[in-house]
A = this chain, B = another copy of it.
């Protein structure tokens, strides 16, 4: 007959609660006790019924990671790091992608999602600040926000200094002697936080350098995809006065933009220097390799998972705002300085 939780407790001469805590992976069990109980679990070949355990503990051992698109390299790298970070806290990760579905995001944030079977949410949302402030019943589910929304400090929040990251990217182009610097990735005002903040960094860098913002050099992109970058750069290279540099709000936009510059008959970095944000591996092997602002996805994953695990254990703790480091990686796509 299959061994029960009670059998394990009897065998290990501990309480059923202790066995349950070990099985649930709770961190407050001492390493020595854990090893002791695990020996009994092994010897009796005890297989906990996960559903019964869930009902008993009220916990699933699963956290949800919500991203707009899992096949965007930045998010798949984040997911990789998040799965690893979650494992160190004894959690598994369920990944959901919202696409560009605001309703789905709102359902998750308001707890209207009726199938939630996880203990907490790591959420990289697209929804606008305005929409979130209007939500009358935010979720009771432990929640850590990733990315640029701060939601008035109501939630734990891990993000980079997005304005500064954009400013650093544009300053790098200025340092290379570029003066006619375009931007790809802007979006209509008041919609999403990321493009707003990156636009602000772009404008600050140019303004501090005494360069006027030229609206024709600022291009919108809907999905931050290679195709969006390609289309926007194609339009830029067709201008009577072409840019001598392009700051792309993501590396995927930059990969598309580089290809467009070549297809228009120009060279990177000789004619047009290009810099992105994300530092995805693709950009280290592309020709030319892509200069980019590196975001520390491992740091973001570890700190946000640590925050979420703490909040699951203590829902009433005060929210924290954590800024992840970023760093410019100069590569071939900005290698050549132009003389003034």
Measured CB to CB, the residues of A under 8 A from B are 23, 25, 47-48, 50-52, 54-55, 58, 60-62, 69-71, 73, 76-77, 79-80, 83, 92-97, 111, 114-117, 226, 230, 255-256, 258-259, 262, 281-282, 284-287
Residue A255 contacts which of B69, B77, B282 (CB distance < 8 angstroms)?
B282
Inter-subunit contact A94/B97 (CB<8 Å)? no
List 3 tightest A-B contacts by C-beta distance, closest first.
A76-B76, A94-B94, A71-B80
A80: chain B residues at CB < 8 Å are 69-71, 97
Separation of A258 and B286 alpha carbons in the complex (Å) = 9
A83: chain B residues at CB < 8 Å are 70, 95-97
Q: Knowing A73-B71, A95-B95 touch, does A114 contact B47 (C-beta < 8 A)?
A: yes
In the complex, which residue of chain B has the Cβ closest to the Cβ of A75?
B76
Most buried by B among A52, A76, A262: A76
Separation of A115 and B89 alpha carbons in the complex (Å) = 14
Inter-subunit contact B52/A55 (CB<8 Å)? yes
A50: chain B residues at CB < 8 Å are 114-117
Separation of A171 and B95 alpha carbons in the complex (Å) = 39
Inter-subunit contact A226/B285 (CB<8 Å)? yes
Chain B min CB distance to A112 (Å): 8
A47: chain B residues at CB < 8 Å are 111, 114
Inter-subunit contact B71/A230 (CB<8 Å)? no
Chain B min CB distance to A309 (Å): 15
Separation of A282 and B284 alpha carbons in the complex (Å) = 13
Inter-subunit contact B259/A117 (CB<8 Å)? no
A256: chain B residues at CB < 8 Å are 285
Separation of A305 and B100 alpha carbons in the complex (Å) = 23
A115: chain B residues at CB < 8 Å are 25, 50, 61, 92
